[in-house]
């Protein structure tokens, strides 16, 4: 006699199948079991979710119930804690459970048929049987901890809740992470640790450090990676290793927060302030916030680390007496820094661009400084947050500009292949010979990107020689030069080997990399973020500049003090004053005061609804109609008392690929109130969609705790 089971599938969030579906099975299956089930003509991967329903739900005709196709019971069921995490994430970020759960599983689980999968599982079992862990980890043969590191680890053990390791760049945070992991693994036979980094590019470096440290003790498969750049087969392998418990350490990007790890006891979030932890498609989750939640759910310790924490985490780590819930642990000095000024951090020099030759890109004193560094065989890094050659082309006669016909944005001029490329929709054309509007031959570039900066620097440094008499060697690293697989690695290797004198690039080069020989870092034009309408822009700029400064002088044996140069028209701006003193706490304090006065996060909670439609009117009409309809929701008066719904406005880039975009901000002083509102309002959004004035609406999505407004 078959039994009923309820199964979640990857069904669209806004469909009416968003909940669990009921199927029949020959045998009872415990929640968390992976199954294959028929849906229409297709067969899909699903997960048995809740306890079996006692009876067929009223809405379903019992005669139409279908049998599951297969139970993948060679894979242990997903744990209750994992399912609770998925349930929470789906509910909090306003998506369906099935969507979040299935997106958190490796794609090959969906794609392989049962036979292929059982072969894979057999292979996995033999692979992990190979593991011959030697003696347990023994830290006594390792480098001695610095006083600050030892104290940090001590503090970590004094507190059960989340910790924020606030450590300067180069203060040895990674070593602290590895020690905490090592203690955990040595102390418990099965314990697992999850270590997250913001960018795929940073995983190889970290993976190498962790593998070198842990594989000799725990076997080759003890450390696995998990990120979207991996081949599907590799990803499945890592996932199975984590889920079976044979992997003791999982290193990954934001998606790894959902890794199935039955013995998870420690979660580390490195560079916790990094915006990459926030997903910008599907469920727009924050992996950092979910890490905190997961830690509580599983009784695992959580350690966030950063030299420039997010203001949210900074605020949560205020003294407990003032309501802080995280323990703040400080490591202000760089490893190996003698008692030199500011713990061995670089000297920050501001160049007042108001007093430099007009239209100069690299100011004379900066050029002089770069030249001197090259003469001493030191490396320089120059960054600019814009790729391509020039952000706009313009006719010198009429008012033609290189607008994208499909977006409300300019197409960027790329000199290397003489194209105009839209960085939003990808639309690419050869540069016109003459102005498309008036036929003028004279088309001028406006502004500059990294490609032009590199060209300009090459000219400026053409007469300069390295100590060995050779010309200056320059390399550019940005999204354009690193498209090919392996090209980033090979370019970085050239920097590390010392072959390169000057590294030019976008913010890509400013983060995380452990460059040992760079002693000068320069930000060419960071001013725009100072006056952005996005209230988080200063926070992002400050952390980017601090991170960039952190790339300079990581080798304390350099005799000349390293420098961070900032070219700005606003040298006395408080942000640069704090930067000069490497004073994140002062910067955070002033920002928090501003945010509190303005009632911004972390003093309020926000959600955005974004709508896309053929016309801007439709997109806005949908949002405004849903906003008005909220007054008719059950308990509306009570709910809306704590909620502010703003009017719909066009998004900052209003049109991409001929689709108009609008957004609406929702704010509350209470997270709970906002959640309660959003949960009920989902239905309103769904019904509003079918109203006549919303014809032409393409899609909408809710973004809870949005980072970009
Ligand atoms: P962070 O992550 O804080 O920027 P890292 O962990 O990368 O810093 O450490 C910076 C450098 O210092 C690394 O090269 C690391 O190997 C080295 N280091 C860390 N801890 C120690 C220590 N206790 N003794 C000597 N060198 C150390
Ligand atoms: Zn013209
Ligand atoms: Zn475009």
| pLDDT digits 0-9 by tens, 375-402 | 999 999 999 989 999 999 999 999 999 9
* CA of 395, nearest ligand number: 2
pLDDT at residue 117 in the model: 79
CB atoms under 10 Å from CB of 646, counted, come to 14
pLDDT in tens, 203-223: 777 888 999 999 999 998 899
146 lines ligand 1 (CB under 6 A): yes
In angstroms, rounded to a whole number, what is the distance separating the alpha carbons of residues 400 and 394?
6
Q: Is 167 in the pocket of ligand 1 (CB under 6 A)?
A: yes
Q: Which fold has domain 341-387+449-597?
A: Rossmann fold (3.40.50)
Q: What confidence score (pLDDT) does residue 349 get?
A: 95
170 C-beta closer than 6 A to ligand 1: yes
What's the confidence (pLDDT) of residue 451? 94
Judged against a pLDDT cut of 50, whether residue 60 lies above it is answered with yes
Instruction: Give the pair of three-digit tokens for residue 103.
Output: 């997106």
- Specify the pairing of strand 347-352 against strand 264-269: unpaired
Please check the confidence at residue 78 and state whether its pLDDT lies above 70: yes
Name the closest-CA residue to atom 10, ligand 1. 170
Closest ligand (CA of 442):
2
Reported as a single tens digit per residue, the pLDDT across 463-498 is 999 999 999 999 999 988 888 888 888 898 898 898
Separation of 113 CA from ligand 1 center, angstroms?
A: 46
pLDDT for 132: 53
Residue 86 has pLDDT above 60, yes or no: yes
Which ligand has the nearest atom to the CA of 412? 3
Mean pLDDT (the chain) is 90
- Which atom of ligand 1 is the closest one to the Cα of 149? 23
Q: Which residues contact 540 (CB under 8 A, 6 or more apart)?
A: 275, 529
Tell me the CA–centroid distance for residue 603 and ligand 1, in Å.
Answer: 35
Tell me, in angstroms, the distance from the centre of ligand 1 to residue 294's CA: 28
pLDDT computed for residue 339 by the predictor: 45
For ligand 1, the distance from its centroid to the CA atom of residue 247, given in whole angstroms, is 25
Residues 705 and 601 sit within 8 Å (Cβ to Cβ):
yes
What is the SS3 assignment for 43? strand
Among 181, 335, 336, 518, the mutation site with the greatest number of ligand 1 atoms within 8 A of its Cβ is 335
Ligand at minimal distance from the CA of 554 is: 1
Q: Which of 225, 256, 251, 252 is nearest to 238 (CA)?
A: 225
Residue 130 has pLDDT above 60, yes or no: no
Asked if the model's pLDDT at residue 127 lies above 60, the reply is yes
Ligand 1 atom with the smallest distance to the CA of 307 is 3
CA of 658 to the centre of ligand 3 (A): 8
pLDDT tens, position by position, 324-349: 999 999 999 888 775 455 557 889 99
Q: Decide if pLDDT at 411 tops 50.
A: yes
Atom of ligand 1 nearest to the CA of 514: 7
Mean pLDDT computed over 38-45 = 90
The pLDDT value given to residue 128: 61
Label residue 113 by pLDDT band (50, 70, 90). Answer: confident
Expressed in angstroms and rounded, the spacing between residue 233 Cα and the centre of ligand 2 is 53
CA distance 476 to 428: 22
Q: What is the pLDDT of residue 76?
A: 94
State in Å: Cα 591 to ligand 3 middle.
35
Query: What does the pLDDT read at residue 522?
Result: 95
Under 8 Å between Cβ of 196 and 270: yes
Pocket test for ligand 1, best of 175, 182, 269 (most atoms within 8 A of CB): 175
Domain 605-704 has CATH 3.40.50.10440: no
Joined together, the tokens standing for residue 187 give 């102390």
DSSP-assigned beta bridge partners for residue 505:
383, 477
| CA 626 – ligand 3 centroid, Å | 29
For ligand 1, the distance from its centroid to the CA atom of residue 325, given in whole angstroms, is 28
Q: Would the pLDDT of 424 be above 50?
A: yes
**213: number of Cβ within 10 Å:** 20
Output the pLDDT for position 233.
92
Measured CA to CA, the distance from residue 319 to residue 456 in angstroms comes to: 49
**How far, in Å, CA of 256 to CA of 234, rounded?**
14
pLDDT, position 243 = 96
CB of residue 169 inside a 6 A radius of ligand 1? yes
pLDDT at 341: 54
| Contact criterion met (CB below 8 Å) for 68 and 20 | no
List pLDDT tens digits, range 514-526: 787 889 999 999 9
**Which CATH architecture describes the domain 143-331?**
3-Layer(aba) Sandwich (3.40)
Half-sphere exposure of residue 399, counting CA atoms within 13 Å on the CB side? 0
pLDDT of 52: 74
In angstroms, the CA 490 to CA 100 distance is 36
- The whole-number pLDDT of residue 310 equals 97
Confidence at residue 338, expressed as pLDDT on a 0 to 100 scale: 55
Our answer on whether the CB atom of 343 is closer than 6 Å to any ligand 1 atom is no
pLDDT exceeds 90 at position 124: no
Residue 619 burial by CB count (10 A; 0-12/13-18/19+): exposed, middle or buried?
buried
ω before 588 within 30° of 0 (cis)? no
CA angle 292/272/335 to nearest 5° reads 120
Chain-centroid distance, C-alpha 369: 34
CB-based contact 59:31 (threshold 8 Å): no
For the domain with range 3-125, which CATH number is right: 3.40.1440.60, 1.10.1280.10, 3.40.50.150, 1.10.10.10? 3.40.1440.60
Pocket test for ligand 1, best of 145, 153, 164, 174 (most atoms within 8 A of CB): 174
Q: Is the pLDDT of residue 461 over 70?
A: yes
Our CA angle for 278, 283, 286, nearest 5°, is: 25
Q: Phi then psi for 652, rounded to 5 degrees?
A: -60, -40
Measured distance CA(372)–CA(393) in Å, rounded: 35
Task: Give the tens place of pLDDT for each residue, 626-659.
Answer: 999 999 988 888 889 999 999 999 998 999 999 9
d(C-alpha 145, C-alpha 187), whole Å: 19
Q: Measuring from atom 26 of ligand 1, which residue has the nearest CA?
A: 335
Of all atoms in ligand 1, which is nearest to the CA of residue 171? Answer: 3
Residue 618's pLDDT is what? 96
Q: Dump pLDDT digits (tens) for 265-284.
A: 999 999 999 999 999 988 99
Which of 203-207, 541-545, 660-664, 665-669 comes out lowest in average pLDDT? 203-207
- Where residue 705 falls among pLDDT bands split at 50, 70, 90? very high
Question: Ligand 3 centre from 700 Cα, in Å?
Answer: 20
Q: Which atom of ligand 1 approaches the CA of 169 most closely? A: 4
Question: Measured from the CB, is residue 335 less than 6 Å from ligand 1?
Answer: yes
In percent, the amount of the chain with pLDDT more than 70 equals 95
Supply 480's token pair: 């354009």
Identify the pLDDT of residue 16: 61
Q: Provide the pLDDT for residue 131.
A: 53
- pLDDT (average), residues 296-300: 96
State the pLDDT at residue 102.
95
pLDDT the model gives residue 359: 85
**If you measure from the C-alpha of residue 660 to the centroid of ligand 3, how many angstroms do you get, rounded to a whole number?**
12
- Give the ligand 1 atom nearest the CA of 146: 23
Distance separating alpha carbons of residues 9 and 17, to the nearest angstrom: 9
From ligand 1's centre to the CA of 147, what distance in Å? 13
Residue 56 has a pLDDT of 74
Q: Predicted confidence band at 51 (pLDDT cuts at 50, 70, 90)?
A: confident
Q: Give per-residue pLDDT as tens, 608-625.
A: 999 999 999 999 999 999
In angstroms, the CA 96 to CA 93 distance is 9
Question: For atom 20 of ligand 1, which residue has the closest CA?
Answer: 172
The residues that bridge with 445 in the sheet, in sequence order, are 393
The domain ranges of the chain are 3-125, 143-331, 341-387+449-597, 605-704
How far is C-alpha 255 from the chain's CA centre?
A: 10
Residue 551 near ligand 1, beta carbon < 6 Å: no
| Domains 3-125 and 143-331 alike in fold | no
Q: Determine the distance from the C-alpha atom of residue 64 to the mean position of all C-alpha atoms in its chain, rounded to a whole number.
A: 44
For residue 150 and ligand 1, the question of a CB distance below 6 A is answered with no
Ligand nearest to the CA of 434: 2
Ligand 1 contact, 175 CB (< 6 A): yes
Instruction: Give the pLDDT mean for 443-454.
Output: 93
Round to whole Å and give the CA distance between 143 and 163: 24
What b-and-e string marks burial along 149-188, b requiring 16 or more CB atoms within 10 Å of the CB? beebbeebeeeeebbbbbbbbbbbbbbbbbbbbbbbbeee
């Amino acid at each position: 006699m078959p039994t009923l089971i309820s199964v979640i599938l990857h069904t669209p969030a806004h469909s009416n199948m968003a909940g669990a579906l009921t199927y029949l099975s020959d045998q009872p299956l415990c929640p968390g079991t992976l199954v294959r089930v028929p849906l229409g003509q297709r067969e899909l991967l699903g997960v048995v979710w809740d306890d079996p329903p006692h009876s067929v739900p009223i809405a379903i005709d019992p005669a139409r119930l279908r049998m599951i196709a297969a139970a993948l019971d060679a894979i242990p069921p997903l744990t209750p804690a994992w399912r609770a995490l998925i349930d929470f994430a789906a509910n909090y970020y306003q998506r369906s459970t099935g969507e979040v759960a299935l997106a958190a599983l490796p794609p090959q689980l969906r794609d392989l048929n049962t036979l292929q999968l059982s072969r894979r599982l057999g292979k996995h079992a033999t692979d992990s049987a190979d593991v011959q862990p030697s003696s347990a980890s023994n830290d006594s043969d390792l480098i001695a901890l610095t006083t600050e590191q030892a104290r940090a680890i001590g503090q970590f053990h004094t507190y059960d809740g989340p910790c924020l390791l606030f450590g300067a760049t180069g203060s040895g945070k990674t070593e602290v992470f590895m020690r905490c992991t090592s203690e955990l693994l040595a102390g418990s036979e099965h314990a697992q640790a999850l270590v997250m980094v913001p960018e795929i590019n940073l995983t190889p470096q970290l993976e190498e450090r962790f593998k070198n440290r842990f594989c000799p003790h725990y076997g080759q498969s003890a450390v696995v990676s998990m990120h979207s750049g991996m081949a599907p087969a590799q990803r499945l392998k890592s996932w199975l290793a984590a889920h079976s418990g044979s992997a003791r350490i999982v290193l990954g990007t934001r998606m790894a927060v959902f890794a199935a790890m039955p013995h998870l006891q420690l979660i580390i979030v490195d560079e916790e302030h990094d915006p990459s932890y926030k997903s910008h498609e599907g469920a727009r989750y924050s992996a950092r916030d979910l890490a905190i939640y997961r830690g509580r759910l599983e009784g695992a310790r959580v350690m966030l680390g950063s030299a420039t924490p997010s203001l949210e985490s900074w605020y949560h780590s205020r003294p407990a007496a003032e309501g802080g819930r995280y323990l703040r642990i400080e490591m202000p000095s760089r490893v190996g820094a003698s008692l030199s000024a500011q713990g061995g951090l670089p000297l920050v020099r501001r160049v007042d661009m108001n007093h430099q030759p007009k239209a100069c890109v690299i100011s004379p004193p900066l050029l002089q400084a770069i030249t001197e560094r090259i003469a001493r065989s030191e490396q320089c890094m120059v960054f600019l947050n814009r790729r391509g050659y020039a952000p706009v082309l313009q006719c010198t006669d009429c008012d033609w500009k290189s607008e994208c016909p499909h977006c409300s944005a300019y197409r960027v001029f790329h000199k290397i292949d003489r194209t105009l490329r839209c960085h939003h929709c990808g639309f690419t054309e050869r540069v016109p010979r003459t102005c498309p509007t008036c036929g003028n031959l004279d088309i001028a570039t406006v502004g500059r990107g990294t490609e032009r900066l590199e060209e300009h620097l090459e000219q400026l440094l053409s007469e300069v020689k390295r100590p060995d008499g050779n010309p200056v060697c320059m390399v550019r690293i940005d999204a354009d030069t690193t498209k090919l697989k392996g090209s980033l690695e090979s370019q970085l290797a050239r920097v590390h080997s010392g072959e390169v004198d000057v590294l030019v690039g976008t913010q890509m080069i400013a983060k995380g990399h452990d460059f040992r020989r760079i002693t000068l870092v320069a930000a060419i034009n960071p001013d725009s973020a100072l006056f952005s309408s996005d209230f988080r822009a200063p926070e992002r700029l400050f952390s980017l500049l601090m991170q960039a400064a952190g790339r300079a002088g990581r080798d304390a044996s350099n005799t000349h003090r390293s420098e961070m140069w900032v070219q700005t028209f606003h040298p006395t701006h408080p942000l640069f004053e704090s930067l000069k003193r490497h004073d994140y706490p002062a910067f955070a304090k002033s920002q928090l005061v501003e945010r509190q006065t303005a009632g911004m996060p972390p003093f309020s909670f926000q959600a955005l609804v974004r709508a896309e439609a053929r016309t801007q009117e439709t997109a806005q009409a949908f949002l405004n109609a849903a906003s008005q309809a909220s007054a008719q929701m059950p308990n509306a008066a009570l709910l809306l008392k704590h909620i502010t719904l703003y009017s719909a406005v066009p998004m900052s880039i209003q049109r991409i690929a001929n689709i108009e975009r609008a957004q609406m901000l929702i704010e509350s002083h209470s997270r709970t109130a906002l959640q309660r509102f959003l949960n009920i309002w989902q239905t309103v959004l769904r019904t509003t969609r079918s109203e006549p004035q919303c014809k032409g609406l393409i899609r909408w999505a809710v973004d809870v705790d949005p980072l970009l407004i």
